[in-house]
Structure 1
């Protein structure tokens, strides 16, 4: 069950990482933060270079490039969409990654979900959906006479869905790749390719990076959190008994961290229903672990 603990750790760190990301974006643009934290994360991977080269199967130079390109597309889509649509709508659409990841686990990796994981999945989905939909429903009920539906360009909805599909594909590839390579090899080459892809993107689009971005301490912290979280996730994938279905559910622990940080760091209001939703999600996580 060590792999489950590692994935739970990933989910918790991811929750804190989202908070740090929000802090980082208050000082620099989306693309600046995206490129620099990817580059800094790669620097954290450099000490693993000897292990990354040793016994590395040549075919994985191409295979990992595919994974990196998938994530490159996913991050571009998610950041662009989040910058142009309401966060509540983005949150609801982002839930589809659970369904995509579960589908890949069942139909590609031939994993079998237990009754516990099924019940856990349903509870997590209910908790997340209620968390995102309830505030919007309340808003509509309180402004029946003046509320006007927001017009969302379909392209941004498709971007969120594309991001979810790409993340699900990446998770599936991780599980497949870790059968033949170790976590150091996957993380080193994966991050190197991402730096190359984003570097080429900046060159082609002629995007300039301000010098202030290197002084943004939140980006440095974000990079470190990203490094340790991905390390834990890749190690978890190396366990033969680990399942993408269960890992997908455990990753939702990030939502609980976001709720707590929203209360105590960003001083958000109406926290009561969020705590209720967090309780449902927590119960779903516990139930999904039973029998594993």
Structure 2
């Protein structure tokens, strides 16, 4: 069984084989992530005629950090090169643009699922589920090769739910038996405009928990589930996140300096890029320290 890093090689964006879809299809809302509003389906004013970003080297300085953390998992080149056979219909045939953007949205969801399935298949603890995981990966891969009509007809939400349930079982197998140190507790700083109270103790299951701004410094989170948790601005400096399920967790602005994420489950490049780390932050194989973290 190939390791996750090897299996994910094709799940990297190759902008040279795309057509700037991420700069056109999604909407931008003026915020800390984007300096401007941009409607869905309209090209960003920074997109050049050669489908390259005109301010790519200065995105953060120019107020577009959201662009630097976006990851299509290779869906852009798949949409252009496979779904539309190398054509650029959003430019050449405006009447087909909606179909292109819809296909890109489905492909991105499918490619993200493939990212998680690749990791799950590489986990020894998930061996009892390898047959089901391989079957699911086969279904997803076949759909990525479909034409625009098949993609439009596919119920990607159902597929996502089925894969999510399977990945949850994988998470439970991988985290089973992890012996965590007695919880040291985690303080919760009051939010501006009124406190949200104090996080009294760390529990193993923090799925979908609101931990924005939580003080989790040096907390033993091994084997915990932070799946879908809101960790915006959380302080995770020095935290131990071995076998911590981070699928869908929002790590924007989370401080992971010195944290051990090397064995975290279902971590993506987007999450890493959105966090604040340093050279002492340990990451899983196949994930690199983003340039804005400084020297790694």
Which structure carries more relative contact order (alpha carbon 8 Å, separation 6+)? 1
TM-score over 0.5 for the alignment?
no
TM range (shorter): under 0.3
| The structure with more helix, counted as a fraction of residues | 1
